[in-house]
């Protein structure tokens, strides 16, 4: 079992224990997050579904990302990732939403270099977080590492002790990774 599969299983188990559900919005990962989750036996008890919004217009029309934000900053942006996570949560009726958006290459996009990725989650009570990643490696490496990062971001939140007020401020965290899995 790969470590990504183990993290996917841990996320699903934690959500199942809480009686909560999960939805996924993906761009650069093109369904890989949903694939990892649905590869875990019993995922259907927790996983509601996913939206692969590869085209920017789908981020706007399906997930409710603000048109002005997309015009001003492009699709590779921390706030876009946050709105994607909140949007998929709303559209698919889930307790938690996670998202991926970024540039896997081979060319830069929206003024962002290859390896720029944003992953986010949105959950009950206004809980939200975005992580800004700077990944290295091939297109495949960047996509696989993005899957790992978004699942680990949510796993970390689900493992944290509950607080009296929402965690996460929506601010991006910078991390550096080499894209190895």
Dihedral angle computed from the Cα positions of residues 72, 151, 55 and 124, in that order, rounded to the nearest 10 degrees: -70
Q: Residue 173's pLDDT is what?
A: 43
CA distances for 178 relative to 48, 63, 70, 152, angstroms: 31, 30, 28, 16
* Spatial distance between the Cα atoms of 80 and 60, rounded to a whole number of angstroms: 10
pLDDT single digits (tens) 2-58:
899 999 999 999 999 999 999 999 999 999 999 999 999 999 999 999 999 999 999
Averaged pLDDT for residues 128-142: 98
Q: Residue 62's pLDDT is what?
A: 98
> pLDDT at residue 80 above 70?
yes
Q: Residue 163's pLDDT is what?
A: 55
For the chain, give the percent of residues with pLDDT over 70.
Answer: 89
Of 128, 115, 145, 131, which is closest to residue 173 (Cα–Cα)?
Answer: 131
Q: How many other CB atoms are found less than 10 A from the CB of residue 28?
A: 24
> pLDDT at residue 85 above 80?
yes
* Spatial distance between the Cα atoms of 135 and 145, rounded to a whole number of angstroms: 8
CATH of the domain at 51: 3.90.950.20
Q: Residue 162's pLDDT is what?
A: 62
What pLDDT band is residue 109 in, cutting at 50, 70 and 90? very high
Tokens of 108: 């830069």
For the chain, give the percent of residues with pLDDT over 90.
Answer: 86
Collapse the DSSP code of 178 into the 3-class scheme (helix H, G, I; strand E, B; otherwise coil) and give the result: coil
The beta-strand segments (E) located in the chain are: 22-26, 47-52, 96-102, 116-122, 128-135, 174-177
Specify whether the CB–CB gap between 32 and 147 falls below 8 A: yes
Q: Residue 165's pLDDT is what?
A: 44
Averaged pLDDT for residues 86-106: 98
Work out the angle at residue 24's Cα, subtended by the Cα atoms of residues 97 and 35, and round it to the nearest 5 degrees: 145
- Cis preceding linkage at 110, omega within 30: no
Q: Which residue has the higher pLDDT, 170 or 66?
A: 66
Residue span of the structural domain in which 150 resides: 3-177
Q: Residue 160's pLDDT is what?
A: 83
CA distances for 102 relative to 13, 123, 164, angstroms: 28, 21, 33
Could you tell me what percentage of the chain is helix, strand and coil, using 3-state DSSP and rounding each to the nearest 5? Answer: 45, 20, 35
> pLDDT at residue 179 above 70?
no
DSSP 8-state secondary structure symbol assigned to residue 45: G
Q: How many domains does the chain have?
A: 1
Q: Residue 161's pLDDT is what?
A: 74
């Amino acid at each position: 079992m790969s470590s990504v599969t183990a993290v996917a299983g841990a996320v699903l188990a934690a959500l199942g224990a809480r009686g909560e559900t999960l939805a996924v919005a993906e761009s650069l990962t093109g369904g890989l997050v949903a694939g990892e989750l649905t590869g875990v036996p019993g995922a259907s008890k927790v996983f509601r579904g996913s939206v692969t919004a590869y085209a920017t217009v789908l981020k706007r029309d399906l997930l409710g990302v603000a048109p002005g934000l997309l015009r001003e900053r492009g699709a590779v942006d921390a706030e876009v990732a946050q709105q994607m996570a909140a949007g998929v949560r709303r559209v698919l009726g889930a307790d938690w939403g996670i998202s991926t958006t970024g540039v896997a290459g081979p060319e830069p996009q929206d003024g962002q270099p290859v390896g720029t990725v944003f992953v986010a989650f949105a959950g009950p009570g206004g809980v939200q977080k975005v992580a800004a990643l700077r990944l290295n490696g091939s297109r495949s490496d960047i996509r696989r590492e993005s899957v790992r990062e978004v699942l680990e971001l949510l796993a970390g939140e689900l493992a944290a002790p509950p607080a009296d007020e929402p965690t996460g401020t929506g601010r991006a965290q910078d991390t550096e990774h080499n894209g190895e899995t």
